[in-house]
Structure 1
Amino acid sequence: MTRERAGSVLRWLWLAIVVLIVVFPVYVTVVTALLPRADVAAGQLLPRPDRLILDNLRFALDSSSLTRQYLVSVAVTVLQATAQLITAALAAYALVFPRWRGRGIAFALVLATLAIPGESLVIPNYDLVSALGLRDTLLGIVIPYLAAGYAVFLLRQAFLAQPREVWEAARLDGCGDLRALLHVVLPMARPQLMTAAMWCALSAWNGYFWPLLITDSPSRRTVQVGLAQLVLDQATSPAVIYAGTLLVLLPTLLLVLFGQRFLVRGLASRVTA
């Protein structure tokens, strides 16, 4: 065996080990969520297909406010991700194409927000939302996260890679700034826009501490908070806990699987730009 072939075999072996490490927890979650509780208690992890059931999923949804919290999480994800994409696109456009004094300082301030720990903003955000009378509401969860520095950074880098002559030609043809952004700049940055959308959606869906802090009613909390409560309520039923975990995990898995093509293209284009 040549040295190159041996190196290729070792790389594939290492890749297989890494994939196994990543996939195994997901496999355990799926199998445990779909197995009868007696099989889970017996520690069976290689079930026959005819043994899989959906009873645990139904029980997890019925045992708490998880169904309502699921809808709240979907609403939070849509509102928060949409707001972050809009503000990021507008900010990135302003930081790249129009020439104005202080543009570099403004971008430095955007980058500085990435270095601020989120925990340090909890008290000011809590005071602001409470003063607005939005505690225990959907808007109270979303308002502090209408903009995201990382999304601004990602779209700015994408806009910088575009030929400035295309934007100038659009402006000469009579396009205003908003029209140039919507019809010229964003279509050329579609992979990076999808990457930013996935990042914003995943961040919103996985939020836990702030929704827990700003809400009081179980029906107005997100599914991540509901899952933590489900763990406490069903401590003696691992199958139900895994079923709830699968319900929470499923949207993120589907988002990554269906958006993988855009994610790879967006990241690869930034590497080669």
Structure 2
Amino acid sequence: MTAVAGATARKNASRPSAVARRWLRRLPAYALLIVCSVLLLFPLYVTAVFSLHPLTEFLKEGAPSLWPSWQWDNYFASGAGVSDTPVGRYLFNSFVMSTVITLGQLITATLSAYAFAFLKFPGRNALFVLFLATMMVPLEVSIIPNFQTMQWLDAQFTEQAWLSWTQVRFIDGYPGLVAPFLATGFGTFLLRQYFMTIPRELLDAAEMDGYGHLRTLVYVVMPLGKGALATLAIFAFLQAWNQYLWPLLVTNDPNMRTVQIGIAAEAANISRINVAFA
């Protein structure tokens, strides 16, 4: 019994050292994660601090202080915006544009991905390669043709009597902001690759139950692809929200500008640089 008790005591005594060794092994990884977190959060901290500085802090010699001055008036002043246009309008425009683009990409990408993944038709692979090729074309290459198309559509809806009642504007209007981005090759590629991992037996079972393609997509494929759909939604929304060049090109009315344009206009005004950070 004495030998057993002694062995148990030695085993218990060795446990803290084992835990300590495990923590020591993990310490470099935790230290690296802490450093990366600080580097990622530091720009957000600087933005928050600068948004609480008075204008005099930016006009003085040297860099602004990294400690806040608690100038909360900047946040109230930001509501005035540029040229008496409220920032709330910019946020609303960006939200509407991003939401519509996200929904449009989810619908078009889901339908096209299902077709490329499960339907058999001539030229399927060649057409899919063509979709992939669109991912290699930067926005700057297609922006002029897209703008000319929006101008032509805007003229048609404005000049044609039977269309003028619709009040659809492709210049200085939401249709022009969202139309070129309602379908993307990236969304089709992402969902198609995920749909290919779905077992074919599930689709065969749905077909035996009398499901058509649309019901199979809605009740079988989409529930299984919620993760991929959520990923596409996040990518689409963030990409649309951060757009600057296209909204600047197709909008002349300040009330149709997006938040990125509003922030850039505020930042260009040195007398309101603190408000721009807010």
TM surpasses 0.5 = yes
Q: Choose the corresponding residue for 1:14, options 32, 36, 39.
A: 32
1:11-160 mapped onto 2 (5 Å cutoff): 11-35=29-53, 37=55, 43-47=64-68, 52=70, 54-64=72-82, 65=85, 66-133=87-154, 134-160=170-196
Name the residue aligned to 1:163: 199
2:120 aligned partner, one-letter code: R
- In 1, Cα distance between equivalents of 2:267 and 2:54: 18
Q: TM-score, normalised by structure 1?
A: 0.81
Could you tell me which runs of 5 or more consecutive residues in structure 1 were left unpaired when the two chains were aligned: 244-273
Could you tell me which runs of 5 or more consecutive residues in structure 2 were left unpaired when the two chains were aligned: 1-16, 155-169
* Bigger Cα displacement from structure 2, 55-64 vs 3-12: 3-12
* 1:55-103 CA distance string (max 9 Å, x none): 2122112132222111111110111110011000000000001122221
- In 2, Cα distance between equivalents of 1:101 and 1:227: 49
Provide the alpha-carbon RMSD of the alignment: 2.2
Q: Choose the corresponding residue for 2:277, options 242, 256, 264.
A: 242
Q: Is the 8 A contact 2:266 2:273 kept in 1?
A: no
Question: How far apart are residue 189 of structure 1 and its match?
Answer: 0.8
Secondary structure at the counterpart of residue 267 of structure 2: helix
Question: How far apart are residue 37 of structure 1 and its match?
Answer: 5.0
Percent identity of equivalent pairs: 37
Q: TM-score, normalised by structure 2?
A: 0.79
Question: How far apart are residue 52 of structure 1 and its match?
Answer: 3.8
Question: Structure 1 175/57 Cα, relative in aligned 2: closer, same or farther at 3 Å?
Answer: same
- In 2, Cα distance between equivalents of 1:142 and 1:163: 35
Task: Choose 1 or 2 for highest CA Rg.
Answer: 2
Secondary structure at the counterpart of residue 34 of structure 1: coil
Name the residue aligned to 2:11: none
Paired residues in the alignment total 239
2:275 aligned partner, one-letter code: V
